[in-house]
Chain A
Amino acid sequence: SQTIHQWPATLVQPVGSPLSLECTVEGTSNPNLYWYRQAAGRGLQLLFYSVGIGQISSEVPQNLSASRPQDRQFILSSKKLLLSDSGFYLCAWSRSWGQYFGPGTRLTVT
């Protein structure tokens, strides 16, 4: 069966510090991968998606970047965090019948 992992679960970082969130998928190969951000009480905003190694599409210009160094690994990064980067970050992979989400990372930028 397929599983998706995200870490860390929670993170508190000061403004201006770097960020690295990791997502890995097991049990499938060449998945489409997605990073979303969810503000409190709101819907999901698609940040990046990837259809293969090294292939990243950005949906919203911002302070973040994404990389896919391996088939089942998706990394969300920032060189310098802003207060507005706080939120709940979700990674997902997709099959034809829907997307499967990881448990999420709660990021608080102070």
Chain B
Amino acid sequence: SQQGEEDPQALSIQEGENATMNCSYKTSINNLQWYRQNSGRGLVHLILIRSNEREKHSGRLRVTLDTSKKSSSLLITASRAADTASYFCATDEDNQGGKLIFGQGTELSVKP
């Protein structure tokens, strides 16, 4: 089953602007993860936020989690052309043995 739903599906911004992507899910989770995929490549793990955490930072990335609304957001500050990629959220559901359920992704384009 597809749990994560992301919006927007596509986002185009100028270099230096911030990019915000949102993810909603349906069931209870252990944690939520964000991944990045360059065109035609494998996914790269960016950040994990646990169900008891509300906000997490890693470099220019900021992730928030609202378990009451079953939603998360990924903010990329001061974007660069090299940030152009697809971004996916994935949920690790309770008692599912580490399986992840991926969203459909947001395609981010950062124009120089």
B41 near A98 with CB under 8 A, answer no
Using known A-B contacts A43-B2, A90-B43, A104-B42, determine if residue A99 contacts B104 with beta carbons closer than 8 Å: no
By beta carbon, the residue of chain A nearest B2 is: A43
Q: Which residues of chain A from 56 to 97 have a CB within 8 Å of any chain B CB?
A: 59, 88, 90, 92, 94, 96-97
Using known A-B contacts A43-B102, A43-B104, determine if residue A103 contacts B41 with beta carbons closer than 8 Å: yes
CB of A107 closer than 8 Å to a CB of B: no
- When the two chains form the complex, which single residue of A42, A46, A102 contacts B100, counting CB atoms closer than 8 Å? A46
- Chain A residues near B33 (CB, 8 Å)? 98-99
B42 near A44 with CB under 8 A, answer no
- Chain A residues near B98 (CB, 8 Å)? 32, 94, 96
In the bound complex, CA of A36 to CA of B40 (Å): 14
In the bound complex, CA of A32 to CA of B100 (Å): 12
In the bound complex, CA of A94 to CA of B96 (Å): 13
- When the two chains form the complex, which single residue of A46, A59, A98 contacts B48, counting CB atoms closer than 8 Å? A98
In the bound complex, CA of A49 to CA of B105 (Å): 22
CB of B70 closer than 8 Å to a CB of A: no
- When the two chains form the complex, which single residue of A59, A94, A101 contacts B44, counting CB atoms closer than 8 Å? A101
B43 near A101 with CB under 8 A, answer yes
By beta carbon, the residue of chain A nearest B44 is: A101
By beta carbon, the residue of chain A nearest B105 is: A43
Shortest Cβ distance from B33 into chain A, in angstroms?
5
By beta carbon, the residue of chain B nearest A36 is: B102
Shortest Cβ distance from B53 into chain A, in angstroms?
13
Q: Ordered nearest first, which 6 A-B pairs have the shortest CB separation?
A: A101-B42, A98-B45, A43-B104, A44-B102, A101-B43, A43-B102
6 A-B pairs with CB atoms under 8 Å apart are: A34-B99, A44-B102, A46-B99, A90-B43, A94-B98, A101-B43
Q: List 12 additional A-B contacts (Cβ < 8 Å) besides A43-B2, A44-B88, A101-B42.
A: A43-B4, A43-B88, A92-B43, A97-B45, A97-B48, A98-B33, A98-B48, A99-B43, A99-B90, A101-B43, A104-B42, A106-B40
